[in-house]
Structure 1
Amino acid sequence: MTRPTLLAIFAHPDDEAFSVGGTLTHYARQGVRVLLACATRGEAGKITVPGMTVDDLGAQREQELRDACRVLEIEPPIFLDYHDSGRYERTRHDDPAALMNVNPLEIEVKLRALIETEQPQVLITFDPHGGYGHVDHLQIHRAAVAAFFSTGHLPYGGPQRLYYTALTSEAAEGLSRMGRDLDPRVYGVSESTLALTLNVSAYAEHKKAALLAHGTQTGEQSLLGQLSPEERQAMERRMLGTESFSIGGTRTALRSYPLRGLFDGLSGFEHLH
């Protein structure tokens, strides 16, 4: 039988740890081949550790992602070799390789080739709002969705399910209180929208270690680093306990709703939850 394969598609190093770190370890522990495609190396990110200097931020963050994948017990990351578009004063308007300046159809071509080679049954990517609206997240969402729908003709049948990372309204409210200007009615989804909420508390330490592996992004000046102990504890309860998903596309019937797992209802993979 074909080995079950899950492909997560994100934009920057650390996207995976925040949104699906526990889920990736959960399925890797069940024998699933877990792959992570990262569009950029995060070279336009902000260093959040006071006094830290890095000669090559892209190389540094690539290594951080490799370390995070090792902690999460998944395979090394696959880089799509685009550039981080940055944000605010770091936005790279004039860089043709910055993800914001790349035709999404070009990104789709790369993803289609990757899907054809690796033959995943399940894809995970950003929700339609890109989590919090980052332009690179939106680009990857668009390309990944297009790749899901344009790979159904592949001889192996293409990926059978596409899932979006889902931010609940409660989580969006929490992020808003912590400094992210997110309207929970826009960026958060209702409970009825959730196809699956996975209990990942057993992998809380893996997820926490993966977050900390992204050291340039989790320093004192980061969103995490500026939280009070009480705020951090509340955020960790939400972030480390459960991870939620909504359905972006399916080629198979949904036998029940909500689902019991990402592979629920996929023929031959009933043992995976």
Structure 2
Amino acid sequence: MQPSLLALFAHPDDEVLRCGGTLARYAQLGVRVTLVCLTRGEAGRNMDPALGELNLEQGDLAQLREAELRESCLQLGIDPPIFLGYHDSGRNERLRRDDPLATINADPLEMEAKVLNVVAQVQPQVMLGFDPHGIYGHPDHLVAHRLVAAVFARSGSVGIPVARLYYTVQTHTEMRLLQNGRGLGVLSGLDPETYAVCEATIAARIDISLQAERKRRALSAHRTQTGPLSTLGNLTEMQWQALSSSETFSLGGSRTPIAHYPHSDLFEGLPLTQVQDVRA
């Protein structure tokens, strides 16, 4: 059986910061890596003035961010993304409460059915998604967390019992580093005791040092989010080093025994085709 990994996130660029290296690593190992994205990030902001004025009503930002995600997936070496077609809900004062297609207003069971169809197609042994606090509490991230947990729970009843579910997480130390200096804007003012995890919660730590350049190129593909006006595009070298050496995950669920905790391979112990060592 070919190894298969399914990642589920809310917006273009969610796939890179906390798990882009891991996605690239497993793609290099011969794993089929599939990304499901709930939205096209149409409620975001353009942080690169060089891209010019965008007409949000005509969907310019949505089209641009879709293209950015496709390029990011290409740089990571994974399959083209699957878009579920929901709308970015925005957050804070830009929360789109009246948009019926916003993820916060969508029918949860309808969303589950769409993702379960993808599960049936790609038959993943491992799924990845947001942690219970969505890294920084974005409403769409919380919807995506609930969705990936529900799909994992239901997958056995539809004949594709996914073996393991992992959540992308940041440790207290990592989060504080990203809040230092100019700091990553979305983390501003948030308490690491709530939005990050202690070392004891880390179920897997994946070495991505050989995938660091792929991760950097994938992140740079998201020009609207990493432009000169963004904090994401102005990470210090120390911050980037922390994001490009390893990536951490907590365990959302498992249908198989796990021999080592924490472990260094999301597929460890699963009865699959042998995955060869990563080659540079």
| TM-score normalised by the chain length of structure 1 | 0.93
Q: Write the distance in 1 (CA, Å) between the matches of 2:200 and 2:273.
A: 25
Task: Output the amino acid matched with 2:25.
Answer: H
Name the residue aligned to 2:79: 75
The equivalent position to 1:64 in structure 2, one of 65, 68, 85, is 68
* 2-structure distance, mates of 1:64, 1:213: 6
| Worse-superposed segment, 74-83 or 109-118 | 109-118
The answer on 1:114 being equivalent to 2:118 is yes
SS at match of 1:34: strand
Matched, 1:175 2:183: no
Q: Which whole-Å CA distance do the structure 2 matches of 1:190 and 1:4 have between them?
A: 30
Q: Amino acid of the residue matched to residue 28 of structure 1?
A: A
Deviating above 3 A after TM superposition, structure 1's stretches of 4 or more consecutive aligned residues are: 269-273
Q: Percentage identity across aligned positions?
A: 48
Q: Relative to 1, partners in 2 of residues 1:128 and 1:272: Cα closer, same or farther, differing over 3 Å?
A: farther
The answer to whether structure 1 residue 241 and structure 2 residue 249 are counterparts is: no
Contact 1:164 1:246 in 2 (8 A): yes
Give the Cα–Cα distance (whole angstroms) in 2 for the partners of residues 233 and 260 of structure 1.
25
Residue equivalent to 2:144? 140
> Which of 199, 216, 219 in structure 1 is aligned with 2:224?
216
Counterpart of 2:163 in structure 1: which amino acid? Q
Letter in 2 for 1:169: H
RMSD of the alignment, in Å? Answer: 1.5
Corresponding residue to 1:189 among 193, 197, 210: 197
Give the aligned partner of residue 26 of structure 1: 25
Cα distance in 2, alignment partners of residues 86 and 147 from structure 1: 24
Structure 1: stretches of 5+ with no match in the other structure: none
Residue deviations 1:10-32 (CA, integer Å, cap 9, x gap): 00000001111110110011100
Deviation at residue 91 of structure 1 after TM alignment: 2.1
The number of equivalent residue pairs is 267
Letter in structure 2 aligned against 1:219: G
Of 245, 252, 262, the residue aligned with 1:258 is 262
Q: CA deviation at 1:270?
A: 5.4
The Cα offsets for residues 74-133 of structure 1, whole Å up to 9 and x where unpaired, read as 110000110001123432121000111113222112111211222111000000000110
Do residues 95 (structure 1) and 94 (structure 2) align? no
Deviates most, 19-28 or 253-262:
253-262
SS at match of 2:150: helix
8 Å Cα contact 2:2/2:272 also seen in 1: no
| Structure 1 partner of 2:42 | 43
* 2:212 pairs with one of 204, 229, 233: 204
C-alpha distance in 1, partners of 2:92/2:190?
A: 17
**TM-score of the superposition, structure 2-length normalised?**
0.91
Distance 1:38 1:53 in 2: 25
Task: Pick 1 or 2: higher relative contact order, CA cutoff 8 A, min separation 6.
Answer: 2
- Residue type of the alignment partner of 2:141: H
Provide the rounded CA distance (Å) in 1 between the counterparts of 2:110 and 2:197: 30
Is the partner of 2:15 in helix, strand or coil?
Answer: helix
2: CA distance between counterparts of 1:149 and 1:265? 21
Whole-angstrom distance in 1 between the partners of 2:68 and 2:207: 26
In structure 2, list runs of 5 or more residues that go unmatched.
none
Higher mean Cα deviation, 19-28 or 255-264? Answer: 255-264
What residue number does 1:54 align with? 54
**Cα displacement string for residues 225-261 of structure 1 (whole angstroms, at most 9, x for unaligned residues):** 455xxxx111101111110011000000111211230
Please state whether the residue corresponding to 1:153 is helix, strand or coil.
helix
Mapped partners of 2:260, 2:233: distance in 1: 41
